[in-house]
Amino acid sequence: MNNTPDTMQKYTNAANTELEYMVLGGLLDMDYQSRTLAFAVLDNTLFSDPDNQKAFIVMKECFDDNPTFDLVWYDSQLAKNKVSPVTNKNIMDNYGHITAVNIEDYADKLKQLKLRRHIITETRQLLEYALTADHETDDVVQKLEGMKAETIDKLKPAGLTPKQIHERDLLQPKYGALSMGSDMWDNDYFKEVGRHKGTTEVAVAHTKHGKTEYALWKCLKFLQQGHKGIYFIMEGTDTSIKNKLIRKFNIEEKLLDNLIIIDKPQANTIEKISSLIKYWKIKKDIDFVVVDYMQRIDPPNRSNNSRTEHITHVSNRLTDISIESKVFMLILAQPHRVDKFRKKWDLQPEARDLDGASAIEKDAHLLTSIFRPVMIKDLQVVSEMTGRILNVLDPVGQAVDKNSMFIQQKLNRAEEINTTYIQFIHQSEGIEIAQ
């Protein structure tokens, strides 16, 4: 067998042709959401065959222009770009069994083969360099070491660099902050955290205490300042979120063009959420992400991990994604337990009430507790005559508006700097800060 570099390059390319056809065929056969995920993890450089590269580029252009994906137009564009028919002929029938569930596995295989082609090319260049008589041996060794270091670097899994981790842990957001439209929010309550790209806020609340209203209020503030984002809703539908924003917060419908709402069937795992964030970051340069709510994210199929291990993994990944994709991440969470001996304001939820509490407390830059005293009988001030609720008790025992909703902020990633309460009024029209 002839083992020259040219022969090895040709052999490597031929060995993955069928895999490339499988991926292209799978893309042709996918639905809209699956194709969205696929384009988030693939790029044309992963294909070794030039025709397959062109076919992928044409496919993505067709998808960007028309999400319903017109196969007739795709065929015409292939012909226009003089792409060999073999990339389209029968590949949907013969190879179209890749789905959104396994596309990332196939993308990893393509990446490994791409790396192997890179090694072969570099080895060929190094061989030619070494065979040149006027190069010193030390220079050849140095070039070999450089090639080795570069290859090892390419093998490292995607994730945070030590510098990024250091900046995260020192509470030094790297990518700037989003505006919330007023000096009170930007330079007071959310001056240091709570709106900065590359950081996370975890908002904890019991059912019906207002965590979704808080998230929508924050979305509204961001959208009004021209920011763009994604809202992952794990319960309900995209329509329910749109209706709440329109009816309860009186949002201008045109602002909703900058909010991508994705429901659970489309993003039920952390892997799908990660892929969608990467895709929309490239597609629309999003600024913020809301996950409503964390415990509803499904574990991987056939996972033997405990609930705590799963939540820990989700918390770690969401924190990393916020930095990798340069977005502000608001994560809603619901406590799974309440100590039966806790009463009145002691029932206010904290991160320690969550599965995976230690990881969440470590990962989050801002911990927010959302609490409506009216939901707790012992905090209600009731009329003796009518039995109607007149007021509720605030954290210091003062009677306040019965519709009050309190936001408690705890800055994390340092020793606790301060604890701040913000009083909102929770009404049918949404929430707004108490006057």
Give me the mean pLDDT over the 265-273 stretch: 83
Pairwise pLDDT comparison (97 vs 307), residue with the higher score: 307
Region of 167 (left: φ > 0; alpha: ψ -120 to 50; beta: rest) is alpha
DSSP 32-91: HHHHHHHHHH--GGG--SHHHHHHHHHHHHHHHH-TT--HHHHHHHHHHTT--GGGTTTH
Is residue 338 pLDDT above 70, yes or no?
Answer: no
Backbone angles phi, psi at 39, to 5 degrees: -70, -20
Q: Please name the amino acid found at residue 328.
A: F
- Domains in the chain, CATH or no CATH each: 5-155 (1.10.860.10), 165-433 (3.40.50.300)
- Nearest partner of 356 among 289, 425, 290, 299, judged by Cα: 299
- CA dihedral in degrees (20, 21, 25, 30; nearest 10)? -10
- CA dihedral in degrees (65, 67, 69, 74; nearest 10)? 20
Per-residue pLDDT tens over the stretch 357-370 = 777 877 888 889 99
Helix (H) or strand (E) holding 200: strand 200-204
| pLDDT at residue number 229 | 95
Q: Which two tokens stand for residue 312?
A: 């820990």
Is residue 395 pLDDT above 80, yes or no?
Answer: yes
State the Cα–Cα distance between residues 318 and 294, nearest whole angstrom.
Answer: 10
| pLDDT at residue number 69 | 66
| pLDDT at residue number 128 | 81
Is residue 171 pLDDT above 70, yes or no?
Answer: no
Which residues are bridge partners to 371 per DSSP?
Answer: 406
Q: What's the chain's average pLDDT?
A: 78
